[in-house]
Structure 1
Amino acid sequence: MIGMTDYLYAVDDAIAAAGHSARAAAAVHAAMPRLEEEVRSLLSSSLRRLSLSSDDIDEVTPSASPRHGTLSPDATASVRVVADRMLRAGYGPELAQVYVSVRRDALAESVELLGVEAVAIEEVIRMEWSVLDQKMRRWSHAVRTVVRTFLAGERLLCDEVFESDEELGHECFADVARGSVLQLLGFADAVTVSARATEKLYRTLGMFEALTDVQPELEALFSDDAAREFFSGEVSSTVEQLGSTLRHTIEEFGHAIHGESSRKAVHGGEIHPMTRYVLNYCGLLADYRGTLDAVLGDAGLDDDAEKMDDKSRLYDHAGLRNIFLMNNLHYVVQKVRESPPLRELLGDDWLRRHRGQIRQYETGYLRASWMAVLSTHLRRDDGAAARPPAGHRAPVGPSAKSFNAAFQELYRSQTAWKVTDPQLREELRIAVSERLIPAYRAFLGQGSRFPARHVKCSLEDLEDYMLDFFEGVPKFVKW
């Protein structure tokens, strides 16, 4: 068998004579199967693919995406010279059939390497969330890679191979792209008809943003008006469905927050699970603040604060109510401060105002928990231990006993109360110490006036006891 270069020269001669010789025309027709096979071989065997295991796919980054089955410049040039002969001989349909068949399969394989395989709607609807979550995450990466790398490469290849017949090249490109694009859109459509759930919101936002991000680039790849209108319509329909799903899911998320009606107080005044849930989720959603400005405004977090105020009424002790409110608002403020998107969204003024509110809760706690001890049991009413009037002996014995009893009760209850943040816990202990220790020191200064047996703890003992406060583990004074 003669080499391909000599064979192509022979085909050139046959094409040139075909209009004048039936024998030459027959020779051209007989040559086409070998040219078709050469095109198929060049398009298939020269593919360079990066194979990934299913584990590797989870770690894929844009810079390490699977490379689509692109051809080397030499292989592309070889395909073009063979394609030119087939087109000049009038075998464009046969060329297109071979080309589309090979490139469509190559594209489908590349998409599958991204972890996006064909899945029926029924499968998506029944899918476990852990599996669906992974597929939605992969999809958001895949749709960008497919449009910007794979389809962009296919368009360039079509332009080169079908340089002498641009219209046929545009048709071939549309046929190559159709299956994989519709497969991607089909998965997104299946997500929109599956049950709406709050946990899907973040992933659905990612899909919506990814698709709207590449929509203009995808449409620009198609020069043929009919093809461009077809793909534009399909993508727009999916974007609309994703948007509708987002709106309804966000509404349901809001209803779930405001409809949370548990009447069980959180032990020790700790952070309410709803606060953690909402703020953690808001931190994630803030990455998409361009889409959700209207949803995650200042009012949304203040509404949550009002809901926490309602939950605080489940506590009988005013001091514990303030601990609960302080814990929850501090958590909100910390989440906003540590999240650049949330901080940018709400602003530093919001942070200053709510830090001030935390200080108000601290003051409320101190008044509710320690006012009686400082003003009555330690006989304080003006910032110093009261001195008995001249000539009168103060009933210091009973006062010492009443302080002992009061402190025992405070120790038992406030070791069970929990201040979650370590820094806030230490600040609160210091705030208590700054009020209690000077008062107790002054109280002990009256020691010569009452029996020593009424004093159950030294100043150092009292300071040590206070280190147990707000740990969430009830303890008892060992006197």
Structure 2
Amino acid sequence: MMSENIEYAEEIITKWDVDATTIPPLFTQENRKEAKKFVKSVTDLQSAMKFYVKENPSSEMIIRAQNLMQSAMKRLEKEFHSILKTNTKTILHPESVSLRLSNYRASTSTTSSRTSFSDFDNEASSSEDENEVPEVSEVVMTDLKVIADCMINSGYGKECVRIYKIIRKSIIDETLYYLGVENVSSSQFQKMGWDVLEGKVKKWLTAVKTAVKTLFHGERILCDHVFSASDSIRESCFAEISRDNALTLLGFAENLAKCKKILSPEKMFRFLDIYDAISELWVDIEIIFSFDSLSVVKSQAVTSLLKLGEAVRTMLSQFESAIEKDSPKTTVPGGGIHPLTRYVMNYLVFLADYSGTLADIVADWPVPVHAPLPVSYFSSPTSEDGVSDYSPASAIAVRLAWIILMLLCKLDGKAGLYKDHVAHSYLFLANNLNYVVSKVKSSNLMLLMGSDWISQRESKVKQYSTKYERVGWAKVLTSLPDDPTAEISFPEMREAFRKFNSGFEEAYRIQSSWVIPDSKLRDQIRVSLSKKIVPAYREFYEKHRNGIRDESIVRFAPEDWENYLSDLFYENCEGFGSSRATSYRISSPSVSH
């Protein structure tokens, strides 16, 4: 029977001799039955060889079988190469393979070093949607597996693996090249301008997800399927194909983070983008590069995250230092929003969008103060001693709260520079703190700071506004009698009107260039001032206006006063020349026009 096996194998193998001319490919739809016969003949030939080696080692049948086996392996080697090469950019492109098994599940059994992706044959046979996977893709991948199994079992695994590695590695190399992934060292980064670097970062951010989830993922699936007969072969094969390129891809982040010259607060967001990208891909990286021989790839991902974290902390420290070193002598006209306030809060708004990432980075990095933030400032979970708990979950919230506190302390110092009028200082503080609160409420900062924090700051804005009103309009508020309708003498009444006119004109003149950029706060202060002054003045005016015929004494009707008040606090307000007050002019030489 063994002799018959060799004769049968010789008939099939010779028919498909690789050296013969005009022999078509064996693994095609037309020759599917022939291919099956060919593989079976190799199996039978192998059985015959084992028999003769055991029973009659000197038999000529062994030499005959060996020659046939070599011929058969040449044919399978050629078929394997042809299938890989022909389908490389279509069916066997990693993207196609990855999409084919996009819902794979990885087995992470602790009892085995093998991690296998979804079994291709099982998925192919159980697919409910015939259109989901073209049949030809199943056939091609199955053919490769059949050939690989046959060559490995026949002792020709090295030849099969050599072809596979050469062709598949070229696909990885070429795809990463077109994705824009480069092997750039930290020293090379040091020589590049930020515009060039940022362009490379953008390309990398676009490429990394595709590279991991599609390119390496698809390649791992294909490799696992083709060489499923041997754990050691599929590991060594995938490792050699992917290791260097994966290290180049993930090493980009580490090399960039080592580039000290580009570490500045404005660049932080790009570093956070990179950190985000690697973090989001970590589970995929762990599964795809699960082999022990590829632990270096996972180590590179971890190292890159650590270096990026260090870079972010450095830039965050620079940001805090810039706030501390900001010149205390800078002010803004009219007590408006200080550029430092805008810069810091806009920066923090962007940072809040990365709160999850930052929480990881600053979890074990306490704020640079000697004591935790007081509960009165930051409404986070508190410990028994009445100070904020510093836990990883609240680390970023505490950090941002600390930065805002630094800003507010700086603003307190700047408020003292408005020496023309104390009320100017209070208006400046109200404007800037209100801007801070508005930015927090309209961004993700609200989730970090909490409603209690916002309520406390809003109350503080109200306090500043009240102090501004009391100091800025003191002469007006105290000019009228406590009871506006009480009977008083003519001289007392005239003096009251005189003080009111003088106080109002002085306040208007001084504050004509002051601003309240926020329309809501502007309306609140106007309404508050109107309620404090207009009703009392109207009562006093109605009570005594008929007793005075001299217009120089009664200069304002209550309606006039409200119109003048509505003209205040606009940005770039030019006082009485503004369109809102053209019909209401104070004819006093003490008032600036």
Instruction: Give the structure-1-normalised TM-score.
Output: 0.83
**Residues 453-472 of structure 1 aligned to structure 2 (within 5 Å):** 453-472=552-571
Displacement of 1:120: 4.9
- Please state if 1:242 is matched with 2:242: no
Output the amino acid matched with 1:94. E
Q: Does the CA contact (< 8 Å) of 1:15 and 1:25 recur in 2?
A: no
Q: Percent identical across equivalent pairs?
A: 30
Displacement of 1:175: 2.1
- Please state if 1:474 is matched with 2:574: yes
**Residues 192-211 of structure 1 aligned to structure 2 (within 5 Å):** 192-194=257-259, 195-211=262-278
Output the amino acid matched with 1:334. S
Q: Residue 372 of structure 1 is aligned with which of 435, 458, 475?
A: 475
Go from structure 1 to structure 2 and tell me whether the alpha carbon gap of 1:451 and 1:108 turns closer, same or farther (over 3 Å shift): farther
Aligned to 2:117: none
Output the amino acid matched with 1:327. N
Aligned to 1:59: none
Aligned to 1:440: 537
- Please state if 1:407 is matched with 2:472: no
Aligned to 1:65: none
Output the amino acid matched with 2:26. M
Aligned to 2:395: 294
Q: Residue 173 of structure 1 is aligned with which of 218, 238, 259?
A: 238
When Rg is computed on C-alpha atoms for both structures, the one with the higher figure is: 2
C-alpha distance in 1 between matches for 2:263 and 2:486: 66
By relative contact order (CA 8 Å, sep 6+), the higher-ranking structure is 1
Count of matched residue pairs: 453
Gaps of 5+ in 2: 1-22, 50-61, 97-101, 103-135, 363-393, 577-584, 588-593
Cα deviations by residue, 1:13-45 (Å, 9 ceiling, x for unpaired): 467547522532442354334532333223344
Output the amino acid matched with 2:91. S
C-alpha distance in 1 between matches for 2:211 and 2:89: 19
SS of aligned partner of 1:314: coil
Q: Does the CA contact (< 8 Å) of 1:337 and 1:343 recur in 2?
A: yes
Displacement of 1:288: 2.0
Aligned to 2:518: 421
- Please state if 1:103 is matched with 2:168: yes
Q: Residue 252 of structure 2 is aligned with which of 187, 199, 209?
A: 187
Aligned to 1:46: 91
Q: Does the CA contact (< 8 Å) of 1:40 and 1:102 recur in 2?
A: yes
Q: Which moved more, 1:116-125 or 1:259-268?
A: 116-125
Output the amino acid matched with 1:28. A
Aligned to 1:87: 152
Q: Residue 72 of structure 2 is aligned with which of 28, 33, 42?
A: 28
Q: Which moved more, 1:463-472 or 1:443-452?
A: 443-452
Displacement of 1:313: 1.0
Displacement of 1:426: 0.9
SS of aligned partner of 1:101: helix
Cα deviations by residue, 1:307-363 (Å, 9 ceiling, x for unpaired): 211111111121111111111111121222222x42232221111111111110011
C-alpha distance in 2 between matches for 1:466 and 1:308: 27
Aligned to 1:68: none
Q: Residue 337 of structure 1 is aligned with which of 421, 436, 441?
A: 441
- Please state if 1:261 is matched with 2:327: yes
C-alpha distance in 2 between matches for 1:114 and 1:364: 61
Displacement of 1:132: 4.0
Go from structure 1 to structure 2 and tell me whether the alpha carbon gap of 1:393 and 1:227 turns closer, same or farther (over 3 Å shift): closer
Cα deviations by residue, 1:422-479 (Å, 9 ceiling, x for unpaired): 1111111111111222233244332223502444443222222222211022313453
SS of aligned partner of 1:382: coil
Displacement of 1:138: 5.5
Aligned to 2:57: none
Displacement of 1:169: 1.0
Output the amino acid matched with 1:330. N
Displacement of 1:254: 1.3
Q: Does the CA contact (< 8 Å) of 2:335 and 2:514 recur in 1?
A: yes
Output the amino acid matched with 1:248. T
Aligned to 2:222: 157
C-alpha distance in 1 between matches for 2:512 and 2:152: 87
Aligned to 2:484: 384
**Residues 271-310 of structure 1 aligned to structure 2 (within 5 Å):** 271-286=337-352, 287-289=354-356, 290-291=359-360, 292=362, 293-297=394-398, 298-310=401-413
Aligned to 2:211: 146
Q: Residue 491 of structure 2 is aligned with which of 381, 393, 406?
A: 393
Q: Which moved more, 1:12-21 or 1:96-105?
A: 12-21
SS of aligned partner of 1:358: helix
Displacement of 1:161: 0.6
Aligned to 2:16: none
Go from structure 1 to structure 2 and tell me whether the alpha carbon gap of 1:29 and 1:282 turns closer, same or farther (over 3 Å shift): same
Cα deviations by residue, 1:96-141 (Å, 9 ceiling, x for unpaired): 3332333334334544565645545455445554554465456456
Go from structure 1 to structure 2 and tell me whether the alpha carbon gap of 1:42 and 1:79 turns closer, same or farther (over 3 Å shift): farther
Q: Does the CA contact (< 8 Å) of 1:83 and 1:162 recur in 2?
A: yes
Go from structure 1 to structure 2 and tell me whether the alpha carbon gap of 1:212 and 1:411 turns closer, same or farther (over 3 Å shift): same
Output the amino acid matched with 2:286. E
Aligned to 1:2: 24
C-alpha distance in 1 between matches for 2:240 and 2:312: 32
Gaps of 5+ in 1: 52-61, 63-70
Q: Does the CA contact (< 8 Å) of 1:40 and 1:98 recur in 2?
A: no
Displacement of 1:177: 2.1
C-alpha distance in 2 between matches for 1:162 and 1:106: 18
Go from structure 1 to structure 2 and tell me whether the alpha carbon gap of 1:223 and 1:475 turns closer, same or farther (over 3 Å shift): closer
Q: Residue 422 of structure 2 is aligned with which of 318, 338, 360?
A: 318
Q: Which moved more, 1:165-174 or 1:176-185?
A: 176-185
SS of aligned partner of 2:271: helix
Q: Which moved more, 1:184-193 or 1:348-357?
A: 184-193
Q: Does the CA contact (< 8 Å) of 1:319 and 1:365 recur in 2?
A: yes
Q: Does the CA contact (< 8 Å) of 1:108 and 1:180 recur in 2?
A: yes
C-alpha distance in 2 between matches for 1:100 and 1:387: 106
C-alpha distance in 2 between matches for 1:223 and 1:442: 85
Aligned to 2:551: 452
Go from structure 1 to structure 2 and tell me whether the alpha carbon gap of 1:212 and 1:417 turns closer, same or farther (over 3 Å shift): same
C-alpha distance in 2 between matches for 1:136 and 1:161: 35
Moved over 6 A (4+): none
C-alpha distance in 1 between matches for 2:417 and 2:170: 63
Output the amino acid matched with 1:394. E
